[in-house]
């Protein structure tokens, strides 16, 4: 993982900051402009439509972040929307872009679905690329796993480390922190699969590479020497541990790239004229629905269903219905 993409010493730029977003937007701009002009739209109209769509996309991305991922912060202080706190939700941004495009088409009397036939390929490949930046940054990470796909992100990844620091207090001063950690991750991952954090690099030099190796220091002996010895080894207070997790960013990036190839193949089929908008949303909604199962930053709506999954279920159903009730027509 490579969270700090640019380091000037006095300033650091992380993987999910402006340079990645700008790069994807520039790539999408030229790809979409090429497709739109090829489909018969003017350059001037595309600039107008693209600008409006991007603005509404950013607004929706911000709003969705607080409504469905950082809900408590928003309801405690709605003005947080206008601060630098929080982030942007890709699902909301994608929906907002579509909403802006629909508005501009209605205003300019263009057929929205016909226009979308030239847009959805650039959008889905752009989303695929965006998730790679999430992977580099340790954002949108998965749940702990002992599978061969498990990855441990850099300790410089802000979102990644924040998650595990938030539960650090549960075991940091425990007399048997390994037992507490084992209970926290029960059913997900074993101590032998959790690597030692960087703060215990001196212990790694002895050949110990995972938390299970530390069992030789526990259970504790109730004496001052015990605490003193652990303190010298930097085992008291016990440091933050970082378990391997599912690389959900790469899962989603791969599935979206497969979707891009699929849509590339069907885009000129007669049946899919004026339906690529629905094809995209059905596929994207289903992909996000599945990937969300493995996410480690899940915001539960009810039972084990997240806000994102609930939204995606509605999106998939609506897209399938829209696809089969939409007729092709030649209109720019």
The structural domains of the chain, with segments of one domain joined by +, span 4-143+246-324, 160-232
Hey, which bits of the chain come out as E strands?
4-7, 12-14, 300-302, 305-306
Q: pTM value?
A: 0.86
For residue 88, give the DSSP letter.
-
Mean pLDDT, all residues of the chain: 87
What pLDDT, in 10s, does the model give residues 85-130?
767 788 888 999 999 999 999 999 999 999 999 999 999 999 999 8
- pLDDT for the residue numbered 107: 95
Confidence of residue 4 (pLDDT cuts 50, 70, 90): low
Query: How much of the chain exceeds pLDDT 90, in percent?
Result: 58
Higher pLDDT, residue 46 or 221? 46
Q: In a 10 Å sphere around its CB, with 0-12 CB exposed, 13-18 middle and 19+ buried, how is residue 254 labelled? A: middle
Tell me the two tokens of residue 131.
Answer: 């998730």
Q: Which helix (H) or strand (E) holds 268?
A: none
- pLDDT for the residue numbered 84: 72
Beta bridge partners of 306: 300
- Read off the pLDDT of each residue in 300-322 and give the average, rounded to a whole number: 91
Q: Which residues contact 287 (CB under 8 A, 6 or more apart)?
A: 252, 255, 256, 259
Confidence of residue 7 (pLDDT cuts 50, 70, 90): low
């Amino acid at each position: 993982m490579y969270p700090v993409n640019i380091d000037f010493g006095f300033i650091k730029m992380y993987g999910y900051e402006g340079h990645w977003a700008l790069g994807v937007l520039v790539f999408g701009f030229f790809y979409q402009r090429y497709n739109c002009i090829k489909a018969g739209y003017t350059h001037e109209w595309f600039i107008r439509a693209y600008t409006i769509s991007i603005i509404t996309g950013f607004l929706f991305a911000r709003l969705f972040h607080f409504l469905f991922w950082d809900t408590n912060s928003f309801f405690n202080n709605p003005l947080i929307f206008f601060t630098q706190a929080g982030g942007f939700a890709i699902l909301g941004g994608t929906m907002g872009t579509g909403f802006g495009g629909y508005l501009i088409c209605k205003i300019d009397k263009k057929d929205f679905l016909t226009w979308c036939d030239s847009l959805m390929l650039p959008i889905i490949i752009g989303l695929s690329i965006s998730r790679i930046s999430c992977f580099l940054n340790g954002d949108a990470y998965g749940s702990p796993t002992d599978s061969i796909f498990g990855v441990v992100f850099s300790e410089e990844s802000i979102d990644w480390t924040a998650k595990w620091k938030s539960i650090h207090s549960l075991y940091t001063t425990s007399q048997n922190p390994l037992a507490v950690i084992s209970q926290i991750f029960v059913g997900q991952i074993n101590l032998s699969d959790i690597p030692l954090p960087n703060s215990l690099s001196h212990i790694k030099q002895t050949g110990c590479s995972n938390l299970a190796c530390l069992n030789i220091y526990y259970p504790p002996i109730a004496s001052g020497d015990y605490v003193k010895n652990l303190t010298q080894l930097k085992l008291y207070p016990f440091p933050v541990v970082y378990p391997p997790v599912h690389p959900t960013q790469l899962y989603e990036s791969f599935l979206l790239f497969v979707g891009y190839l699929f849509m590339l193949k069907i885009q000129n089929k007669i049946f899919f004229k004026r339906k690529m908008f629905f094809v995209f949303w059905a596929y994207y909604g289903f992909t996000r629905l599945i990937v969300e199962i493995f996410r480690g930053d899940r915001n539960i709506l009810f039972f084990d269903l997240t806000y994102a999954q609930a939204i995606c279920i509605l999106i998939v159903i609506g897209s399938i219905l829209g696809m089969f009730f939409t007729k092709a027509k030649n209109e720019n």
